[in-house]
Structure 1
Amino acid sequence: MADQTFPSTSKPHSNHWDRDVFLSFRGEDTRKNFTDHLYSALVRAGIHTFRDDDELPRGENISTELPNAIRGSRISIVVFSKGYASSKWCLDELAEILNCTKTRGHTLIPIFYHVNPSDIRKQTGTFAKAFTKHEKRFQAEMERVQRWRKALTEATDCAGWDLDSIANGYESNFIDQIVEEVFCKVKPDGLCVAEKPVGLDSRKRWKLY
């Protein structure tokens, strides 16, 4: 794949969404386990969800199709895992997602999958190692690297779901709570029976100062 950032052009803002959810995740970390289970649960709940390994046609230009998929989605769920920041594609997705939250009324729901939110915000731990490599590889594109750093920091300003702090680490219960919150966000008023998603009171709001 060519080393190129997502194009900045986008279709005009509209309240019409092509789908409910865009899933951003590091495939090597969670494609065959957590993200697959989350995707299946969202689909079973009637939530139209984009996952690139299912919906991106073979041969399509990823640098064009993925940002279009983000812009056409009402919500992005970002599954932060230990290897998330090692992927330039994940980081480009995240930067586009944050841009859409500011310009298109898009909602970001971060999920912290066995990672410390402060490592994401401050780019420490495995995230520091990833950026050491990025800064060597992209010496001529340091603005892009700084955009990635800013996106990671801003993502932790959104209320997020931390697996290690919610549902005692049980993934099935954790996923159920996430799906219920998303369902309440995407369905019209009156269709969401619960006043608030189960477990929302215990959800950690990772807005760090």
Structure 2
Amino acid sequence: MDARKAHKASSSSSPSSSSKRCEYQVFLSFRGEDTRKGFTGHLHAALSDAGIRAFLDDNELKRAEIIETQLMQAIDGSMISIIVFSKSYANSNWCLKELVKIMKCRERLGQQVMPLFYNVDASDVRKQTGSFAKAFEKHEAGICEGKHEKEKVQRWRNALTQAADLCGEDLKNADNG
């Protein structure tokens, strides 16, 4: 077997291979209280109706103590992540942790990322103004003097900027579907 075939055979069994990691076609990142029963619920139903396996946390998570692990594995195991940015998205530590992971998967694995701006300006996400500025005021007010916490908040800010710079869809004044 030549070197290219050997490399292909070994890489297809590695954990980062696309056949191994693509448990879901789409991972949906969203703020539950904003869009779960409206836009995101409709989006998930439409994807499912089209035969697309999409991860939606309320259907897939099994036990509270392993939620974070399951979320991170689901992100790793998806080909595409759709981020539904809404007014209170940045209020959620969970959403921001997901976003950092999504952007790492984009960089490391070439995962496609599509931002959707649901009744929020992309510039508010990119520059952390408006409701995003208010959310970060709360995050920063809750920070201990620890360097680790400050770096975490900076990673959240960077991930928001990177995601908002991607080509996405503006869904201003969108109703529940």
Deviation at 1:170, TM superposition (A): 6.4
Where relative contact order (Cα < 8 A, 6+ residues apart) is larger, the structure is: 2
Paired residue secondary structure (1:102): helix
Deviation at 1:171, TM superposition (A): 6.2
Q: For residues 120-139 of structure 1, what are the structure 2 equivalents within 5 Å?
A: 120-139=125-144
Q: For residues 96-135 of structure 1, what are the structure 2 equivalents within 5 Å?
A: 96-135=101-140
Instruction: Please point out which of 55, 58, 63 is paired with 2:63.
Output: 58
Instruction: Please point out which of 46, 54, 69 is paired with 2:74.
Output: 69
Paired residue secondary structure (1:24): strand
Instruction: Please point out which of 7, 10, 15 is paired with 1:12.
Output: 15
Report how many aligned residue pairs link the two structures. 159
5+ long unaligned stretches in structure 1: 1-10, 173-209
Query: What is the alpha-carbon distance in structure 1 between the residues aligned to residue 68 and residue 74 of structure 2?
Result: 11
Which letter maps to 1:138?
A: I
Query: What is the alpha-carbon distance in structure 2 between the residues aligned to residue 47 and residue 144 of structure 1?
Result: 33
Paired residue secondary structure (2:18): coil
- Check 1:61–1:84 CA distance in 2 against 1; reply closer, same or farther (3 A cut): same
Paired residue secondary structure (1:146): helix
Query: What is the alpha-carbon distance in structure 2 between the residues aligned to residue 44 and residue 138 of structure 1?
Result: 43
CA offset digits 1:51-97 (Å, max 9, x no partner): 01110113451221111100000000000000000000000000000
Q: For residues 1-40 of structure 1, what are the structure 2 equivalents within 5 Å?
A: 12-16=15-19, 17-40=22-45
Contact 1:20 1:47 in 2 (8 A): yes
5+ long unaligned stretches in structure 2: 1-13
Equivalent position of 1:189 in the other structure: none
Query: What is the alpha-carbon distance in structure 2 between the residues aligned to residue 12 and residue 136 of structure 1?
Result: 39
Query: What is the alpha-carbon distance in structure 2 between the residues aligned to residue 171 and residue 33 of structure 1?
Result: 5
Contact 1:163 1:171 in 2 (8 A): no
Residue 93 (structure 2) pairs with residue 88 (structure 1): yes
Residue 42 (structure 2) pairs with residue 42 (structure 1): no
Query: What is the alpha-carbon distance in structure 2 between the residues aligned to residue 170 and residue 136 of structure 1?
Result: 34
Q: Which runs of 4+ in 1 moved over 3 A?
A: 168-172
Paired residue secondary structure (1:162): strand
Paired residue secondary structure (1:77): strand
Query: What is the alpha-carbon distance in structure 2 between the residues aligned to residue 36 and residue 18 of structure 1?
Result: 20
Identity of aligned residues (%): 57
Deviation at 1:169, TM superposition (A): 4.4
